Structure 1
Amino acid sequence: MPTIYGFVDLVKNELRNAVMQNLGSAPASPVKGLMYFDTTANTLYWYDGTTWQAAKAGAGATPATTVTTQAIGDAPVVGTLTNFAREDHKHGMPTFGAVTAQTAFGAASATGSAVTVPHSDHTHGTPTHLNADHSAINHSALAPPTADVSWGGFKLTNLGTPTAATDASTKGYVDAAINGLAWKDAVRVASTANVVIATGGLIAVDGVTVAAGDRVLLKNQTAPAENGIYVAASGAWTRSTDAAAANDILNAAVFVSEGTTQSDTAWVMTTNLPITIGTTALTWTQFGGPGSYSAGNGLTLTGNVFAVGAGTGIVVSAGTTAVDTTVIATQAYVNTAVTGMAKKFAAALTGTASPETVTHNLNTRDVQVSVYNGATPYTAVMVDWDAATVNTVTIRYNPNLGAGYRVVVVG
């Protein structure tokens, strides 16, 4: 077995089937705490730093006939009597006391002075929750809600100016955000190709068959001066009355409700004054519509901004996307790592030929050797070994291991 130069810490596990060293006389040059079993006296001895002490106890005195009762607050006492304690003796304990109910919020704690003990299943009363008791608690001190919160039809007032996408917005902030746009009632569909407005009819626009009276945004006319918001009819289509004049159409914005490709998009008329309806080319530009976009693989979508998803192994910065070389190994890194990588050799032992030579051919004495049972439960065992050469190790064991054990050499 190997010589151990250091402490052996069993981390509070049992030491099983251990036998102290058997000697006919005390070993020379003892140190404090050393133990041995004297085979002549059949006695276990331990060294106290000065003399060898026999690990045998003398007889104690007769036990006392009285038992001290414990009281609340008693300090521990080691005791000096040499009497035995009876196996069935008992110490008295203080009696159980009543529990005081807590009925007020903010009551201070008290140490108490009673000499009784509480029942293990005792409970304290709690105060009743009243609106007045909680009226001074700030919302910021409460935990965030985990479900929708109804305000019962009342308003949230005195909000701060929002800065993040998830902040609540004030009416003033929203009004300022849409200032300069002339919002029109939503249209049902928006065109994707030219529509002959002179004949019109209840035709299909972007996959939806319109009905008489439906509002339609025409933005792909062959003659751009015809672009605008129209009302569908069985015959010719006419411009909607809220978008029929130059001042009506200037900065007009409209939301599209339905359609195969245009659903949930928002459009604004970007042509500047002067405008003559029927003569000036009118340009409509999409400026919103998160419902019409979705982020594909490797992308994220926030509002109307797409971004590359920064997953493991990818570094994303303004204008560039690169491989994270701290995660994805470069060829130079792999070559270096392989050069210094440890190698392993494993083989079966005879288990009956100590000392046993194992040839691993790792070309180094910087190795670690472990031996384990090759069958369930594959238990590891300690053996004595040395690195005899750069390609072999010598393994010693006593008694024989037996067949079925394997050796692993790493170096």
Structure 2
Amino acid sequence: MANEVAAAFNDAWRDYVTEGVPSSGPNKPLKSQIRGIGPIVDAQFVLVREEIAAVEADTVAAVEVITDALSERVDDVEAIATAGIIWTTQTIRVRSTANVVLANGLVNAATLNGVTLATGDFVFLGSQTAHAENGIYTVVAAGATSRAAFADSAAELAHIGFVIQEGTDGTGERWTLPLAAADITLGTTALVFAETGIEPGYAAEVEAARGGEATLSDRLDTIDARPSGFEEYGVAIYKSDGIELGGYYAERSVSVDLTLINLFAEIIAGDVGSEVDFYLAVNDSVAYGPATVVLGSPIDITGLSIALSEGDKVSFFVLFVDGAVTEFFVKTFGEMS
């Protein structure tokens, strides 16, 4: 009936008595024809209301399904939050995606979820055919694996939480075991771990930026170490809330005459391929730069010879940033004159 309203109006108010024949004379609309349009319009409204009702019913049904799913998710999160999850500080390198044979499946150089394993790696097995075998295991040089020493008892497994570091699947995932120690009998209890989302801000480049250290803090301790034979003086910046262009950082005035002879800089965390160009300034005048540092390629500039007098102010400022750089470190070292 989509065109019936238009057709009724066209017929009642047509130009000629016989449509298309001028000689038949002008048509005079009849009241009966005009009244006939009303029922047609009413019928169209009925159809529209029926279609709207059908759409509303489908929409409500879809929203109810989504709401139920969200409600279940909230319940899961609340249960985990109230359970008091204890997040391990150990590095869990990769997780399994299928059953692993404990007798010989976690050995040095074996491949798991796209990662080549090394002796000593900690691996999460959460897809064992026998759920009682699920847990965190240690990669061995050869032979049978066993549970990691920090997760091989009911007390240690109770409410444990950890983050997956690598893998074709699972990088950055957070996993927990929402069971109390009293509910766990190793070798008998089905250990069903729950995946609770992605670690905020986690990225493979952050892991690479650790340079083999357990944490970024340990890495900073390493790169902040004063080169052998240098005097105590140094001025550094460590920004972990994003680098802004033109910002002056780490201003410090020297208390004695000295010479700056070394500079080290590294992007600790940022987008892949991100860069920072910065200057070293003395009394707000450029003394060295621009120096460019790229994520994954620290710079270690030796052989500087920038003389400073007592009271001179040393600082850094940023000229250019390419990519979201969230953690950046730079330091200069000097020796007494």
Q: Higher helix fraction: Structure 1 or Structure 2?
A: 2
Structure with higher RCO (Cα < 8 A, 6+ apart): 2
TM norm structure 2: 0.33
Over alpha carbons, which structure has the higher Rg? 1
Q: Higher strand fraction: Structure 1 or Structure 2?
A: 2
